[in-house]
Amino acid sequence: MNNITKLFSVMMIFSAANGLAAEIKLESSDFQSESENDPIKRLGESFENSEIDVSISITHLYQVNVHGGLSTSKHSGRHSGRYDAELSADLDKLLELENSRLFVHGWGGWPDTEGIGSDSVGSEWGINALSVGNRSMDIVEFFYEGTFMDESITLNIGKLDFTGIFDTSKYADDECSQFLNASLVDDPAIPFPEQGLGIVAKWDITDSWYLMGGAADAQADSRTSGFDTAFSDEPYYFYALETGKSISLSSSKGDLPGTYRAGLWVDRQDKTGFAAAKTTSEDIGFYISCDQMLIKENEDREDSQGIGGFFRYGWADSEYNSVTNFFSFGVQAAGLIDTRDEDILGIGYSRGFFSDQADNTYIRDYESVMEGYYNFQLSPSFVLSPNLQYVSNAGGEAVSDAFIMGLRMQLIY
């Protein structure tokens, strides 16, 4: 079965499910006069009140390296794509578990290669963060979320994606709708594990200040359930601790919200240093990050039009990590053109410094990236995004700077 067939199969299944739900809702309204014991009516009411939200998105990307890097002529990986399906179920209404929900996220993609980053550009970070290879459907998140103690404590347990929980950003965190370069989606100085089994607890100390900590399987493989590594004879875990403060700056157009974070991480996998005599099972690093709205277009509190900025910094031990210092920053402008309120412009820059103890691996001291994109919101369900990237010192090698052009198309169902 080819990828297109798989894709349409997934869409047909969800379409059928939505149609069935709508049909049952209709039947329940048509038979209001029937007995309360009518099973069809009760089933219809259960769908209607269950608070199950389903969303599907399909993202296709065409990228080509037009200058520098390793090659401008290779065609492998120029076309790539991913489809995502998400389900969120309110367990309070389904199972009477108060303040609880179940979240499931699956994805698949094409082709077998992960974009043009390795063959044409040679980037250390990856210029196409949305590529997941040739996969039919992997369940990458499957977790329970519950709130306790007057909703001041939030607990997530199950298969988690730590990159979507720690060191997040309002303006640089989603490769399907924001930046494509992996260094402008996450901090490469943090050795986040793949999606796997874990637990995270968040304490909202006040309305604007939180403390969050978690542990995850450091050997996780996002394509598996995770039980074979999380509970193996030699399990290793990744730990993270983060605190954050939300603030609101005043302006003539209203409040300008922002969030400032600081975090620590510990990777307990056995690691051998670049000097082979050294080993550790307590690799430690830290990070800081923030996102802040800078300019608001109007006084409507629900309107997100305006300009926001973000910043990230991460540090890791140069003895055990290839990237020892990293920073990124950028801006996002929403509704920049008067008649295009839903359009978004993003511009970002990142630079990661390679370990000075890895001279045998890297010739250059750093790799830097400049990226810009513009989201044309052509309809509520279709977005077209031209994308440009300029990569210097790709992979720390002595290659000429690369210039990459791309076009991303996203269909949201």
Query: Tens digits of per-residue pLDDT, 150-185?
Result: 999 999 999 999 999 999 999 999 999 999 999 999
The arithmetic mean of pLDDT across residues 205-218, rounded, is 97
User: Where do the structural domains in the chain lie, given as residue ranges?
Assistant: 50-412
Place of tokens 């939505």: 18
Phi-psi region of 226 (alpha: psi -120 to 50; beta: other; left: phi over 0): left
Contact 391, 121 (CB under 8 A): yes
Q: Identify the residue with better confidence: 115 or 198.
A: 198
Q: What is the structure's pLDDT at 116?
A: 84
Q: Examine residue 111 and say whether the peptide bond preceding it is cis (omega within 30 degrees of 0).
A: yes
What sign does the CA torsion over 290, 330, 264, 224 have? positive
Query: Tens digits of per-residue pLDDT, 100-120?
Result: 999 999 999 998 877 787 788
The arithmetic mean of pLDDT across residues 26-34, rounded, is 40
- Looking at domain 50-412, its CATH superfamily turns out to be Carbohydrate-selective porin OprB (2.40.160.180)
Computed over every residue of the chain, the mean pLDDT equals 88
The arithmetic mean of pLDDT across residues 268-286, rounded, is 87
Distance CA 276, CA 357 (A): 11
Q: What is the structure's pLDDT at 175?
A: 96
Q: Among 238, 242, 241, which Cα is nearest to 271's?
A: 238
Distance CA 395, CA 164 (A): 25
End-to-end alpha carbon distance in the chain: 23
Distance CA 349, CA 372 (A): 9
Distance CA 39, CA 209 (A): 47
Place of tokens 């739900």: 21
Q: What is the structure's pLDDT at 74?
A: 87
Distance CA 59, CA 174 (A): 12
Q: What is the structure's pLDDT at 112?
A: 81
> What pTM value is reported for the model?
0.84
Query: Tens digits of per-residue pLDDT, 129-152?
Result: 999 989 999 999 999 999 999 999
Residue 79 burial (CB < 10 Å; 0-12/13-18/19+)? middle
Q: Which residues contact 72 (CB under 8 A, 6 or more apart)?
A: 64, 65, 66, 120
Q: Other C-beta atoms within 10 Å of 229: how many?
A: 19
Q: What does the block give as tokens for 246?
A: 């939300």
Residue 246 burial (CB < 10 Å; 0-12/13-18/19+)? middle
